[in-house]
Amino acid sequence: MNNFKIKVIILVLLILIMSSFNLVLAQDSEQETNNESETVYIDADHLKYEDEKTILTGNIVIRKDQTTIKANNGELMREENKFYLTENIDVDYEDGQVTSNNLTALLKEEEYVFENNVKMDYILENNEENMKLESQYLKIFGENKSFNAKNNVLIKYEGKNFKGDNAEYVGEEEILYLTGNVMIEEGEDWVKSDQAKFFLGEDEGGYTADGNVKIKMILE
């Protein structure tokens, strides 16, 4: 076998070895990324373990992927991957910020239930203005961070106040559904109805109202 053929064979073998090495590195990198997204870091002033639950107090900070949760007091149910948190709840996540008095967090499912004096500053994709929400109950869930809110719901967006008994935001559709004693206020004008649908996508806008629609408007 001449020198040229030997060099070609060696070159092919080197290419195969490097390709296999790069594939292993890519798989390891992907595995590290997946592991990090499933990893939870917790800081607190005090920890007490009893009856298969971990009790935390003082300056609690919980970090998981892009979500940071702060609270004064909390209980971790390890087998359920569930947190019960109270007092000065403050959550920062990729779609905004939420504060409340109580929070139940299912970390594995990324489901968060806020209760009592809930306030949310929600970042709408590709919109300059955030949507602000107040209620007594808020549940955030799913990869697109859809949410349900109820009990004295007030939403402020683009100079309007949206009020109702219940609100549901479908993140995939970028549509907000409001039901029960709906009232839409803009200045001194208002619209009342049984239900309303708000289109919050970048290329959309406006809303529809249905059921017992009543309108008040000030003529200029």
Per-residue pLDDT tens for 65-116? 888 999 999 999 878 888 999 999 999 988 889 999 999 999 888 899 999 9
Per-residue pLDDT tens for 145-190? 789 999 999 999 888 999 999 999 988 888 899 999 999 999 999 9
Q: Is the pLDDT of residue 29 over 80?
A: no
- The predicted pLDDT at position 182 comes to 96
Averaged confidence pLDDT in the chain? 84
| Average pLDDT estimate for 54-63 | 92
Q: How many C-beta atoms surround the C-beta of residue 97 within 10 A?
A: 15
Q: Is the pLDDT of residue 35 over 50?
A: yes
Lowest mean pLDDT among 24-28, 33-37, 133-137, 204-208: 24-28
Confidence of residue 33 (pLDDT cuts 50, 70, 90): very low
- The predicted pLDDT at position 107 comes to 82
* Total-model pTM: 0.79
User: Which domains can be identified in the chain, with CATH numbers?
Assistant: 38-117 (2.60.450.10), 123-220 (2.60.450.10)
